[in-house]
Structures are given as structure tokens and as C-alpha cells.
Structure 1
Amino acid sequence: MSAASNRSKADRDPAEWLPSDGSYHCTYAATWVGTKLRWDLAVDETQRQALLGLAEDCSTTTVVYEPAS
């Protein structure tokens, strides 16, 4: 991810921002969910709905994470 791309997303979640490269949407969503799971962070309903929408196109993507100690 370029610095400009990173700045454009700032602290927005998948309901507000997705990478411009559509082929990366599933990887981005899986990474985002993995981070939430790792740190036991909440997901609000808007985020949940956005992720469910993304998941429809990501049937071969697996979320991998290790719980924080």
C-alpha cells in the first residue's frame, strides 16, 4: 500500500473505504476482521453489514489471526 493510499483511508473502516484495487478487497477485509478478532475489538452494525456484503464475493478467503496475549 502506498503512503498516499494509506493517508486516503486514514482511520476509516470497510464501510467507508476500500482499496481502489478491487482485487484486494477480500484480502483487505480479511486482514481488517483478523485485526478486530486478534484484539477482541467490537464491530458496529454499519461495519458488520459492509463486511457481510464483501464476504459474498470472498468465499475462498480465510480470516487468519492469533489472539493477543
Structure 2
Amino acid sequence: MVPLAEAWDSGAHAWTAARREAYANDNDADRSLVAVTAVTDRAKADRHPANWTPPLADARCTYTAGWVATKLRWQLTVDYETAP
């Protein structure tokens, strides 16, 4: 849910290699890995929710809630960014 680059900037840089590997391969939460089309994955890239949300309005709250839940579960910082 939260891209590796964003996780790194939010605290994963201080993790052990084993914890980073566990994060990258996390399948323990329903929202950890979400299947999307290649087009959507490329559009999202490693963007913060302030800069990208799913194209379907109905999915935006679910996506944002999953983002925050992942950050909290992994004890990453949760920040607020403004769109450019």
C-alpha cells in the first residue's frame, strides 16, 4: 500500500535489513498489497495520497484509510503533504 520509497522517507531507513524485507513482503494485512492494473500502478508510482488517489471516487477513502493504517501498523511517520 505504501510504496517502498515513501516508507524509506517515513522511517524505514532506520530499520534493519530484515525488517525492510518483512515490510516489502508483507501479506499479513488485507490492505498490504492491492491488485491494480499496470496503468494504475504506473500512474500511482511512489506518490503520496496528496498527489495521487484512485480514479474511482468510491475508492479514495478506502485507499487513504489503507495508507494511514499501513503507516501506523509499521510505525512509520504519518505526514501531510500538499499537492503541487
TM-score, normalised by the number of residues in structure 1: 0.62
The separation in 2 between residues aligned to 1:20 and 1:45, in whole angstroms, is 20
* Consecutive aligned runs of 4 or more in structure 1 exceeding 2 Å deviation: none
2:81 corresponding residue in structure 1: 46
Q: Paired residue for 2:49, among 14, 27, 35?
A: 14
Deviation digits for residues 12-68 of structure 1 (CA, Å, limit 9, x no counterpart): 011110011011001101110111011111122327xx8xxxxxxxxxxxxxxxxxx
Partner of 1:45: helix, strand, or coil? coil
TM-score, normalised by the number of residues in structure 2: 0.51
Q: Which runs of 5+ in 1 are unaligned?
A: 51-69
CA RMSD of aligned residues (A): 1.7
Q: Work out the number of aligned pairs and report it.
A: 48
Percent sequence identity over matched residues? 52
